[in-house]
Structure formats: C-alpha cells, structure tokens
Amino acid sequence: MKNQICTILGGGGFIGRYLVRNLTKKNYRCIISTRKAFQKGYLKTQATPGAIELIDWSPNSFSGLKEAIKNSDVVINLIGILYETRKQKFYDIHSIIPDVVSKICSETNVKKFIHISAIGANENSKSLYQKSKHQGEVKATNNFKNTVILRPSVVCGAEDNFTNLFSKLSILPVIPLVGIDYKFQPILVDDVADAIVKAIELKGNEGKIYEIGGPKVISFGDMVKSILKTINKKRFVMPMPMPIAKIQSMITDLLPFPPILTKDQCEILSEADNVVSDNNLTLKDLDIEPSDVEETMKKWLWRYKDGGQFAKA
C-alpha cells in the first residue's frame, strides 16, 4: 500500500514539529507549507529522505498550495496567531484560510481535513480571536463534510510562549496578573500531536469537534506560581485590575510584538474559563491519557534556574 500523503499548513510552527515526527513514524509522506521554508530544514531530519517536502507559501496566494492539496489524502491546518499585527489579522488567518482550504478539499480527493481551533471559539465573544476562530470552524465544516475540528486549551512544551514567558518574567520582583482566577486546562504539545494523528485514523468522526485539555484544571495565578516553584524563584504574584490592564494594553498593542497581554486577550480573560466542556468529544474519545504539564515542564524549565541543570532540585 502506498504511503498516505498529508499536507500540513503551518507545519514549521510549535505544534508542527511534534506532529510531523508522529506522522512520519506512521509512514505518512508530509508536505509542509510554511513561511520561509529555507529556515525549516531541521524538519527533514525527523524522517527518511523524501518523506518530508517543504514548500514556501504565503496566504496571499493559494495556487501552489492547491497543487499540494490536490495530491493529498489528509490536510491539516495548524495556522493561528495570538495577536494581530499590521500584516496579520485574526479574520484573515483564522477565518479566510480555513474557508479557502476547505473549499479546495471539497474539490479534490482529500479524505479528511483536520482544523485546529481553540477552546472558547464563540460567535458572540467580544474577543476577535475567539470570534474569528468560530467563523473558521463554521466555514470549514460547511464547505467540506469530512472536516474534524480540534479545540485545544493552552498548549505547553519546550518552545511554548507561556511557561517560557513567565519564567523570563521571574527577573521581576513582582509579577502582576490580570485574570488571576481565570481557569484553563493546559495540555502538553505531544498530546496535541497524538490527538491529531488519532483523529486522522479514527473512522466515522467527520463533522465532529474535540475539546482537548490536560488532566488538571488550574487557575492562571496558580499555574504561574507553579512555574516559579519549578525554577526555584520566589516572587510575589499580584492581581491586576482589569480596567488597568486594558489601559496598559492600549499602549502595548501599538508595539510590533506585544510583550504582555493585548486588549483582545483581556477580553478573553473576562469571559468563560478555558476548560473542556461536556458539549463535544474529548481526549477520552481518542483513547489518550494526557500527561501532567506541571510535572513535565521540569524537563525544559531547568534552564531558568540559577545554576541551570546543575541547580539543586
């Protein structure tokens, strides 16, 4: 039997590097569309020669991507942004891309389209991020009946922008947090990659939504305290009032790369908790037992300890 071909949009990103390894272990041939493909050569080290092909793709043109999708058995969309820039807007990335890609899938012999969304995707949200995520889900499922949607909570791993960010902020004597009681369900990136592969292989799940999170529901404040404990740093974690945070975000939103919370992220923290609901399928339906993020993050956060890997536990 010939190897199945999988086209991955955004395969050079955080989740992508873990997913590609999982897929090539199962003998999938991966076509990875990514910006600046010449910088993503490290992905080819994860498989035998010829198993991974990199194509340089910009959302401004779908012609090259259409050719790759036409020859694929499975298409996976990992593309997403956490904040808007002058060139990248939530609607363009989270709504238009899945709309166009799902339409291409419907015109070809693609067997399944896996679209990565986010817990909290909601058409009534004040957050443009959450609203655009919901729009992308609706368009993908309406255009292509064999779409499967995965909604992860906060994804953590060695290269993440969450545990690493607050480890870096430990240089401050006081860490102010907005939404300190906001609850979420952090999930390890390895488990997200496993979930995607399982969703591909499982039959009869077309049109379904999976909400996936780790084994623990934890507050924002407690998670930051756990990160500080892991790196042996004693810092005062102080709640920041939402009105002050929104005023501050109006300034940071003007920066090319906001160092802390944006106004849109403040809106997310003002809404419902980011936890797995009872309304959709979960990791149990994929037969996956998630790893404990708090325990696993010790494997990569040691570099923030005084003394690094030689620091006392």
In a domain, 296, yes or no: no
Residue 58 structure tokens: 């910009």
pLDDT at 313 over 70: no
Token pair of 282, please? 């979960």
Number of domains in the chain: 1
Q: Please give the structure tokens belonging to residue 125.
A: 């949200």
Least confident of 58-67, 112-121, 156-165: 58-67
Q: Please report whether residue 166 resides in a domain.
A: no
DSSP state of 40: -
* Angle in degrees, 0-180, between the axes of helices 14-25 and 189-201, rounded to the nearest 10: 50
Residue 69 falls within a domain, yes or no?
Answer: yes
Q: How far is the first Cα of the chain from the last one, in angstroms, to the nearest whole number?
A: 50
Across the range 258-273, mean pLDDT stands at 87
pLDDT at 297: 97
Residue 300 lies in a domain: no
* CATH assignment at residue 40: 3.40.50.720
pLDDT > 90 fraction of the chain, expressed in percent and rounded:
73
- Predicted local distance difference test score (pLDDT) of residue 2: 64
Q: How far is CA 40 from CA 44, 58, 74, 114, in A?
A: 8, 15, 21, 22
Q: Which two tokens stand for residue 94?
A: 């989270």
How do residues 213-255 score in pLDDT, each as one tens digit?
999 999 999 999 999 999 999 999 999 998 888 888 887 777 7
For residue 130, is it within any domain?
Answer: yes
203 pLDDT above the threshold of 60: yes
Query: How far apart, in whole angstroms, are the C-alpha atoms of residue 15 and residue 19?
Result: 6
Q: Is the dihedral of CA 300, 303, 306, 308 positive or negative?
A: positive
User: Residue 1: pLDDT above 60?
Assistant: no
**How far, in Å, CA of 189 to CA of 195, rounded?**
10
Q: Per the domain annotation, does 267 fall within a domain?
A: no
**Within-domain flag for 80:** yes
| pLDDT tens sequence across 98-111 | 999 999 999 999 99
Distance CA 232, CA 242 (A): 29
**Which residues are registered as beta bridge partners of 34?**
56
In a domain, 241, yes or no: no
Spell out where the chain has E strands.
5-9, 29-34, 52-56, 74-77, 112-116, 147-152, 155-156, 174-177, 183-184, 187-188, 209-212, 218-219, 236-239
Global confidence as pTM: 0.94
- Where does 130-190 show beta strands of DSSP type E? 147-152, 155-156, 174-177, 183-184, 187-188
Range of the domain at 33: 5-154+187-213+275-290
